[in-house]
């Protein structure tokens, strides 16, 4: 029987939230164990895949704009320290919307308030700068020149590598349910793992993404909605630079609910529908794309990127979002255990926010107090309470009404 291992904190889940939480806890002097059943940003995880957008626009949600604003330099600092600057691609991010769409007008106001660098583009500007995109009459754009793409899988692996270099212990092992079996007096004393080990810690952070409903079925089974999402990469015409940066940025067409990226590293033109797919189990869902989704992507290319309407599919991914009822993250203490914390609910937009989420979560578990937001938000009491409210378990409902995009 392996000897028991004891740490200040055990973080379960080496996706983007768990990796940054473990890294930040260790930076602040704690002894940390990080575990993952399949490895950092595995193909089954919500943090897996090749690329994620990092953008500042979030409509009226100043919290997420400021989180993104703080996240980007932290990502870049980590990549520079690791000698991996290519893990951020500064493609710029282009929003396209109809001229009176409320969300875009709110985005303009929030970007201005937060001091974000952006260009507002008229319909004529869009057609002149991006003739490869078909834009509707009456459209306008917001271009964020400093935003772009994080190379997701490798970015998370980089965080874990850097965490290990500063002393975080890492093991690839699954936590055996139920976690309540070794609880004592409203405290979790230890967890058992698939290799027969017992890991004791002063506190436990469960950052298991789409597996959170399985780990805590009674608590989260009807509060985390895991949805199937299909992503496609289409081959661009040979020698055609129109679909690679800098000619084409990362893009989002708000009223269509489609987004995509230019051809990066020769992988092809990425396109995905942001609408939530059917509910699935991350262990058993099919990872094979459907003909219906491929057809929908092709029809969209014909509509907006007609030069690619006959392009071949060169790669596809079936992944998942783990959605909360409205899209706000879940970062809160388990109501039954004073030393168990839950960090999840990325809701399809969480990847970019890894550094400030890790900082916020680390501050909560280190202080054991919800009054300290770890300096990741505006230094006002109202902002800290707004984060506490929106990220709380109490705010998570059992019916979806998406409000964060």
Q: Each residue of 22-34: pLDDT tens digit?
A: 999 999 999 999 9
CA 226 to CA 284: how far, in whole Å?
Answer: 12
Q: Is the pLDDT of residue 132 over 70?
A: yes
Q: For the residues of 312-332, what is the DSSP string, one character each?
A: PEEEEEEEEEEE-SSS--EEE
Which stretches of 116-247 are assigned E, i.e. beta strand?
119-121, 139-144, 148-150, 169-172, 183-184, 187-188, 190-192, 198-206, 225-234
| pLDDT value of residue 384 | 79
Sign, CA torsion 17/183/164/317? negative
Write down the CATH number for the domain with range 55-150+229-319.
Answer: 3.30.9.10
> For residues 7 and 197, is the Cβ–Cβ distance under 8 A?
no
> What are the domain boundaries of the chain?
5-47+153-224+326-395, 55-150+229-319
Any residues with CB less than 8 A from the CB of 50 and at least 6 apart, and which?
151, 152, 153, 265, 267, 317
Crossing angle (nearest 10°) for helices 16-27 and 354-367: 50
Q: How confident is the model at residue 177 (pLDDT cuts 50, 70, 90)?
A: confident
- As a whole number of angstroms, the distance between CA 195 and CA 256 comes to 47
Q: What end-to-end distance do the CA atoms of the chain give, in Å?
A: 48
How do residues 11-66 score in pLDDT, each as one tens digit? Answer: 999 999 999 999 999 999 999 999 999 999 999 999 999 999 999 999 999 999 99
Q: What backbone torsions phi and psi does residue 25 show, to the nearest 5 degrees? A: -60, -45
Q: Report how far residue 177's alpha carbon sits from residue 150's, in angstroms, rounded to the nearest whole number.
A: 33
Q: Give which of 287, 311, 289 is closest to 300, Cα–Cα.
A: 311
Q: Tell me what pLDDT residue 373 has.
A: 41
Handedness of CA 255, 257, 263, 264 (dihedral sign): positive
Percent of the chain with pLDDT over 90: 90
Instruction: Tell me which CATH code domain 5-47+153-224+326-395 carries.
Output: 3.50.50.60
In what order do the strands lie in the sheet containing 52-54?
A: 52-54, 148-150, 88-89
pLDDT tens, 343-392?
A: 999 999 999 999 999 999 999 999 874 334 444 444 455 677 889 999 99
């Amino acid at each position: 029987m392996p000897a028991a291992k004891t740490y200040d904190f055990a973080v379960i889940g080496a996706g983007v939230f768990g990796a940054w939480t473990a890294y930040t806890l260790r930076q602040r002097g704690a002894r940390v164990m990080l575990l993952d059943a399949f490895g950092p940003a595995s193909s089954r995880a919500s943090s897996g895949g090749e690329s994620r957008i990092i953008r500042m626009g979030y409509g009226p949600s100043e919290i997420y704009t400021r989180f993104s604003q703080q996240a980007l330099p932290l990502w870049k600092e980590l990549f520079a320290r690791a000698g991996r600057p290519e893990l951020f691609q500064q493609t710029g991010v282009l929003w396209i919307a109809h001229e009176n769409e409320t969300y875009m007008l709110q985005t303009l106001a929030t970007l201005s308030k937060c001091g974000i660098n952006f260009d507002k583009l008229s319909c004529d500007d869009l057609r002149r700068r991006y003739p490869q995109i078909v834009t509707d009459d009456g459209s306008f754009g917001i271009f964020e020149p400093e935003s772009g793409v994080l190379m997701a899988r490798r970015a998370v692996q980089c965080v874990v590598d850097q965490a290990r270099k500063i002393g975080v212990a890492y093991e690839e092992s699954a936590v055996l349910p139920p976690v309540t079996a070794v609880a004592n007096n409203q405290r979790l004393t230890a967890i058992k793992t698939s290799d027969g080990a017992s890991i004791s810690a002063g506190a436990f952070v469960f950052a298991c993404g789409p597996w959170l409903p399985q780990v805590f079925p009674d608590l989260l089974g009807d509060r985390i909605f895991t949805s199937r999402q299909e992503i496609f990469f289409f081959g661009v015409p040979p020698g055609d630079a129109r679909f690679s940066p800098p000619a084409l940025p990362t893009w989002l067409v708000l009223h269509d609910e489609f987004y995509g990226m230019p051809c990066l590293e020769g992988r092809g033109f990425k396109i995905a529908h942001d609408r939530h797919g059917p509910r699935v189990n991350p262990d058993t869902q099919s990872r094979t794309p459907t003909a219906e989704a491929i057809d929908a992507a092709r029809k969209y290319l014909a509509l907006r990127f007609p030069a690619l309407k006959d392009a071949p599919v060169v790669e596809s991914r079936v992944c998942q979002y783990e959605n909360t009822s409205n899209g706000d993250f879940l970062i809160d203490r388990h109501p039954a255990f004073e030393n168990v914390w839950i960090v999840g609910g990325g809701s399809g937009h969480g990847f970019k926010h890894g550094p400030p989420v890790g900082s916020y979560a680390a501050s909560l578990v280190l202080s054991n107090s919800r009054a300290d937001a770890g300096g990741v938000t505006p230094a006002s009491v109202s902002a800290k309470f707004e984060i506490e409210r929106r990220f709380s378990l109490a705010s998570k409902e059992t019916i979806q009404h998406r409000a964060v995009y």
